[in-house]
Structure formats: structure tokens, C-alpha cells
Homo-oligomer: A and B are copies of this chain.
Amino acid sequence: MHMLKVAVAGASGYAGAEVLRWLLRHPDVEIGAVTAGSNAGSTLTSIHPHLFGLEDRILEDTTASVFDGHDAVVLALPHGHSAALAAELPEGTVVVDCGADFRLRDETAWTTFYDTPYAGSWAYGLPELPLAEGGSGRHALEGATRVAVPGCYPTAVTLALAPGLAAAVVEPDDVVVVAASGTSGAGRAVKPHLLGSEVMGSMSPYGIGGVHRHTPEIEQNLSAAAGSDVTVSFTPTLAPMPRGILATCTARLVPGTTADEVREAWRTAYEDEPFVHVLDAGTWPTTAQVLGSNHVAIQVAVDERVGRVVAVAAVDNLAKGTAGAAVQCLNLATGQPETTGLAGAGVAP
């Protein structure tokens, strides 16, 4: 088939590098321009030495003209930068944004958590999202030319809990989520608390009290699944590992629901999904089993004593949590098979 020429804007960060790692494996993609901000002019591999195969690439400035002649552009920019660039790109160019700018449909939710102007919303890039009205998030992505890739935490939490809300076996209020993320989720910014010396061997929370920016996106997704407003107590924690999110999510069981009905809700939601796996009863998801892959591992159980369902999901925050999802959306947008270039198991042990 025609090779898609794909550029990456913001290739000096971890998300941009991971997009390139996936594009290198994609059989129908030719990697075009790679751009950066302050790192423009450097070689790509001076910053990302693992990208063998792209040793000759120089990071260019992120200006619209650089993307002329590309079929698609993946944006991996700091939040607040995507709208201006996207406005200058041709309508027919597929733009897939890994940033937050176009994820939220509610302007108030945006302005409560972000300090830049609201930019609007694009097709939301979570094909597997089970919807209250039936169907999934996939339909909105087929043939889309503007796609907002979900945040890493929202991907994990949404996939963990949405089946129970869509099937009305858990209550929509009083959802509690505690999630652990690897350090790459904090990006490549150099801050003392992200130094290896401080991170290794240490767990810590951050954003206690519902202040994390991913909260409204989680609520938006779970509300779409429930068909009614869902509010979430969300506490993110930092774990001593480079990659991976483990999201532990609990919601109150709808009285009278059996454990079998719960399990069936999850099983049917994902039975045809290539990347989302409800594990056999008695086995627990690990972030190791999805490392470097586009897979999601999920388990769900009922705590009868307290009347709560506990659902846990493991994802790779940079893969299915960001760049793998971007490529999955790119496939849907450009009419290729959804799994092209995304197959393959996680790197374990």
C-alpha cells in the first residue's frame, strides 16, 4: 500500500521518542520530519540513543512549514501548544495530539485544571471505551482527521472501570481510584524529586486531594460509560520504575448484583478487543506483563464484606497510555487495520 509519511512534533520528550519507536516498527509508515523546541538542531539520537535506525536525523524547529507533504503529524508538545500549530496544518492532514489540549469537552472542566485558554475538543482516542448507549469509542475515530489521544491515567482507569458502569453493576457515585505510575509519566524535566537517587526504592503520592489534571478526563470517560455524572476521588502515586501504570479502582456494587454478573460485564465489554484482556480469575495484572506493549491487563473482583467492586488495570503509560494509542488512532483515522504495527508481547521479565 501507499506508505504514510508521518512527522513527530516534539520528539525530544519521552512521548515523542516513544511515538518514533512505534513508527519504526510500522510496516506502512515512512518517518518524516522530527521537531523539537529548545533542542532543535541537535541530533535525535544524542537525546534518545535507543533510536537506532534514525541516527542521521536532526531535530528541526517546530514550525508548520516543516510538515508540508506529510500525511499525518503526531503532536507531543507541552499543553497549550497544540492549537496554534494545528490551526496552520491542512485540514486533510491527520493530526493526532498526545497532549491534553483537545481532550475535554467541557470548558469549565478545562479552566478549573489548566492555565491556558480552552482550545475545544477533538475525537477522543480510546477505541475500546464502552458507551452507555452501546457501542464503543471506536466509531468516532474512523476517518477522523483530528484526534486527541487520552492521558495515561485516564486510559488505565477508564478501561478498568467503564464496563461496570456501562452495564450498571456498579454505582456511579463514590468511585475511588489510587494509581501508581512509573517516573516517565513525569516527563524528561529535570527536578530533584525525579532523580534516580530519590526515586529508586521509594513510593510517594503527589497531587493528594483531587487536584491532578487527569481527574476531569477520567470523570468525562466514566460518565460516558455510565450515562450519568460520575465523580472520582483520584490519588496518583509515583512508583520506582521507569514505565507502567497500575490503577486500583473501586466503586460500590449495585445491591443484588452477583460476582458472576460483574465478571460477565467486564468479559463481554472486551471480548472482541485485541489489546484489552480480562485475566483469568485468581491472576493479577502486573505492569511488567505489558511493558513496551500496547496491551492492557485487567482484573476485577467483588468484596462482598464491604459491597465494593475492585477493578485493576495495568498499562504501559508511554505505550498504550500514549504512543501506542496514537498509532492505533492513526491506523483508524487512515483506514488501515487497527492493529497494524502494534502487535507483539510485552518485554518480560
User: Which chain A residues have a beta carbon within 8 Å of chain B's beta carbons?
Assistant: 14, 17, 20-21, 24-25, 46, 48-53, 174, 176, 178, 180, 182-184, 186, 188, 190-192, 194-206, 208-210, 215, 231-233, 235, 237, 239-244, 246, 248, 250, 277, 279, 283-293, 295, 297, 299-306, 308, 310, 312, 314, 343-349
Contact B248 A349 (CB under 8 A): no
Residues of chain B within 8 A of A200, CB atoms compared: 183, 196, 199-201, 240-242
Residue of B whose beta carbon sits closest to that of A174: B174
Closest Cβ of chain B to A266, distance in Å, is 13
The answer on a CB contact under 8 Å between B284 and A204 is yes
Looking at the assembled complex, report how far the CB atom of A179 sits from the nearest CB atom of chain B, in whole angstroms. Answer: 9
The CA of A283 and the CA of B46, in the complex, are separated in Å by 9
Contacts of A300 in B (CB 8 A): 208
Closest-CB distance, A345 to chain B (whole angstroms):
5
Chain B residues near A176 (CB-CB < 8 A): 176, 250, 308
Q: Which residues of B contact A184 (CB under 8 A)?
A: 197, 349
Does B303 contact A210, Cβ atoms closer than 8 Å? yes
Enumerate 28 A-B pairs (CB-CB under 8 Å) in ascending A order: A14-B197, A17-B348, A25-B344, A46-B283, A48-B348, A49-B297, A50-B348, A176-B308, A196-B196, A196-B199, A196-B240, A200-B240, A201-B241, A202-B244, A202-B286, A203-B239, A203-B286, A203-B314, A204-B246, A204-B286, A205-B246, A205-B284, A208-B301, A209-B302, A210-B304, A232-B306, A243-B347, A291-B347
Q: Which residues of B contact A284 (CB under 8 A)?
A: 204-206, 208
Given A190-B191, A199-B200, 11 further pairs, Cβ under 8 A: A14-B349, A49-B283, A50-B293, A183-B195, A188-B349, A194-B196, A200-B240, A202-B241, A203-B241, A209-B303, A243-B349
- Taking CB atoms, residues of chain B closer than 8 Å to A239 are 180, 203, 239-240
Instruction: Give Cα A199–Cα B200 distance, bound, in whole angstroms.
Output: 9
A209–B20 Cα gap in the complex (Å)?
33
Copies in the complex: 4
CB contacts (< 8 Å) of A25 on chain B: these are 343-344
Is B209 touching A182 in the complex (CB atoms < 8 A)?
Answer: no
The answer to whether B299 and A208 touch across the interface, beta carbons within 8 angstroms, is yes
Q: How far is the CA of A310 from the CA of B243 in the complex (A)?
A: 25
**A312-B52 contact in complex given A194-B195, A240-B239, C-beta closer than 8 Å:** no
Q: Which of these, B190, B205, B206, B297, contacts A192 with CB under 8 Å?
A: B190
- Shortest CB-to-CB span from A47 to chain B, Å, is 8
Whether the pair A295, B52 counts as a contact (CB closer than 8 A) is: yes
Shortest distance from the beta carbon of A238 to any chain B beta carbon, whole Å: 9
Would you call A240 and B241 a contact (CB within 8 A)? yes
Say yes or no: B208 contacts A183, CB within 8 Å.
no
CB <8 Å contact, B250 and A345:
no
Measured CA separation A53–B275 after assembly (Å): 10
The answer to whether B286 and A49 have CB atoms under 8 Å apart is: yes
Given the interface pairs A202-B244, A202-B286, the reply to whether A310 lies near B197 with Cβ below 8 Å is: no
Would you call B306 and A345 a contact (CB within 8 A)?
Answer: no
Cβ of A227 to closest chain B Cβ, rounded Å: 20
Tell me the complex Cα distance, A178–B178, Å. Answer: 7
For A21, give its contact among B51, B233, B347 (CB under 8 Å): B347
